[in-house]
Chain A
Amino acid sequence: MEVYLDNAATTKTDPQVIKVMFSLQESIIGNASSLHKLGLKAANEVEKSRQIIAQKINALPEEIFFTSGGTESNNLALKGVAFAAKGKGRHIIVSKIEHPSIIETARWLEKQAFEITYLGVDKEGFVNPDDVEKAIKKETILVSVMHANNEIGTVEPIGEIGAICRKRGVYFHADACQSFTKLKLDVKKQNLDLVTLNAHKIHGPRGIGALYVKKGIKIEPILHGGNQESGFRSGTYNTEAIAGFGKAVEIANTSDIKRMTELRDYFIRKIKNSIEDVFLNGPQERRLCNNINLGFKSVSGKKLLSELNKRDIFISTGSACSSNKLTPSHVLLAMGIEPEAAKEAIRISLSKWTRQEELDFVIRNLTGIVQRQRKIKCPG
């Protein structure tokens, strides 16, 4: 049996999405920016998808800008606001547990004479809205806190943070790559000014994402060219991928969320009953429905990943982007977990297609591997 449990890294594309994309690949010839009929046909597909995505987050279609994915959207949000609003101030606040596409962009902005505050989190990975309020100063132009963490699944209080930012006249950006369609996202109710979205975490195609920008907010583009996307993001429209993104959003189902939550809790319960000294990283409640992050005392996460890989079970040690690094996860370190314990973590992320028998198979294998590894370390 082959078991794929690395869905926080990327998901298998839904056959319904593939069908839409294949059919467009055959039928769409025109560039969605061309003024002839074939261009209009392509533009129609782009706009239909834009409408679906906008509706899902209670935004206007003209507030959705297509990008190549989460990393580009996060770069555009931070750099775009920073350079457009630098006349007002040069201070930006991000949390310490953001995705590398936020953290590294923030570090780059520091080199461009912007001041960055990296907000700490508690032992479950929660940002305290009071800390956001305290960190805001006259020069603050932007706060960026992710909706749900990609490694530990912590669901941040973005509604509360949004309300604080709105009250203080500071733009608020949320990276919703992991949470989109899994958690309620309402840009109006949650006072969101910018939101990063992507397709491949929700069974859509890789290489397509979007940035929601509240109407009236000026951002400086980072890609210049043909002025597509109202000049916010130049580049030829990837019509098939955009249509696939729309389809993935359209078919996202709340019953899948309930099922994934049940399976997540089942797995955590059963693994704790099967193996001693297992630690759940991140919270029990207010956790993303498909995220499990566990630490097994005295067993390295890398070793577990490699042993499971031999048995056709595919997981990760942290985020896909950082699992090749030798340093422990910056997220776990920010939560106050000791570096050695942080190296013991593995991330198991479910999808709408994960079955209970697959999880039982993983638990059986994991139990054996952990016991063997501990015996090797402490024989007798």
Chain B
Amino acid sequence: MAKKVRAVVTLQIPAGKANPAPPVGTALGPQGINIMEFCKAYNEQTKAMEGVIPARITVFEDRSFNFILKTPPASDLLRRAAGIPKGSAKNLTQRAGSITRAQLTEIAKIKLPDLNTDNLDDAMRIVEGSARSMGIEVN
């Protein structure tokens, strides 16, 4: 089929730390795109950021590509707001931590551009649902 887009992939990687090792190498290598160029551009654009910053990469038929940065995963924002270290979600049914309503609002505002809504209240409900599933309470 004639087309200009070859593949689309979102990489969730730590800001400023892209390197050719997996998952960047495994995700982009088979597409034949310039991995060093991606790493350089991603690290430059995310150098002042923290945590996981997803990049949505579009690979074109001629193996050129472009990418846009997306908002951090809600889980990452929630865990950081609640002060829960990465990898400590072993007891999902138990209370893992808590955040304030102001923190919830802040996270919902950050996530708004990537959610299927323009309404902040809806966004807060979505993020609160994610928090609940992670054992994080909103006080």
Bind each other: no
